[in-house]
A and B are shown apart, each in its own frame.
Chain A
């Protein structure tokens, strides 16, 4: 009786494991698209879906510096909380949590933040880059 229960429980767990793998590895889709805000500035939007549900997102502000597209600011939902990443020229990432209850909120925050601060982010990045090369 006990071994029978163990076998059934084992089969059930295995099924759950395969379902989990199928859901996250096979059914998960990622969509990325780019919108140009200027000739040297673009915004990259990425989302992860399972079916109709969004399970993750990322909005990234990139600048064309020395003929390379470099991400400087990123708003994303990885690491279990919505946050803003400032990416330093040496690759170090500075994380700031964002108070956003959902994707819509985070989107509004990113729009306002970019509108107000994009020039200062770029300036800060360029200054750090120059310092690094000295």
Chain B
């Protein structure tokens, strides 16, 4: 995994995590102040390795560490229509 890939993936994950906390405010209660969030993705060992590497280096600064295990990151949706059927009609 390149640095750029890791950067963009973590950026997406942190944004989505923020959205999750927004819709589930009780989650915020579980996060200590100034916590270091470490994202771990199921079935993505390359990302997890890099994420833990960075966390190990940074946790020396004394921040509490919270691991966020994510099962899957869905692609952003492009449409809300479900299975639209197109029919060419000469006359109505």
Contact = CB atoms under 8 A, between A and B. Distances in A.
B31 interface: yes
A34 B37 contact: yes
Contact of B54 (A36, A52, A103, A108): A36
Contacts of B22: 54, 103-104
Most B CB contacts (10 A, CB to CB) among A37, A38, A39, A111 go to A37
Nearest to B31: A33
Contacts of B33: 30-32
Interface residues on B, range: 20 to 34
Interface string A85-110: 00000000000000000011001101
A20 to B, nearest CB: 22
**SS of B interface (majority):** helix
Nearest to A44: B34
A131 B22 CA distance: 41
Contacts of B17: 35
Contact of A49 (B11, B15, B28, B39): B28
B11 A114 contact: yes
Contacts of B3: 38
A43 interface: yes
Interface of A: 30-39, 41, 43, 45, 47, 49, 52, 54, 59, 103-104, 107-108, 110-111, 114-115, 118
25 contacts: A31-B28, A31-B31, A32-B33, A33-B34, A33-B35, A33-B36, A33-B37, A34-B37, A35-B17, A35-B37, A36-B58, A37-B6, A37-B14, A39-B57, A43-B11, A43-B14, A49-B25, A49-B28, A54-B25, A104-B22, A108-B15, A111-B12, A111-B15, A114-B11, A115-B11
Given A31-B31, A33-B31, A110-B15, 14 more contacts: A34-B35, A35-B39, A36-B54, A38-B3, A38-B6, A38-B7, A38-B54, A39-B54, A47-B28, A54-B25, A59-B18, A103-B22, A107-B19, A115-B11
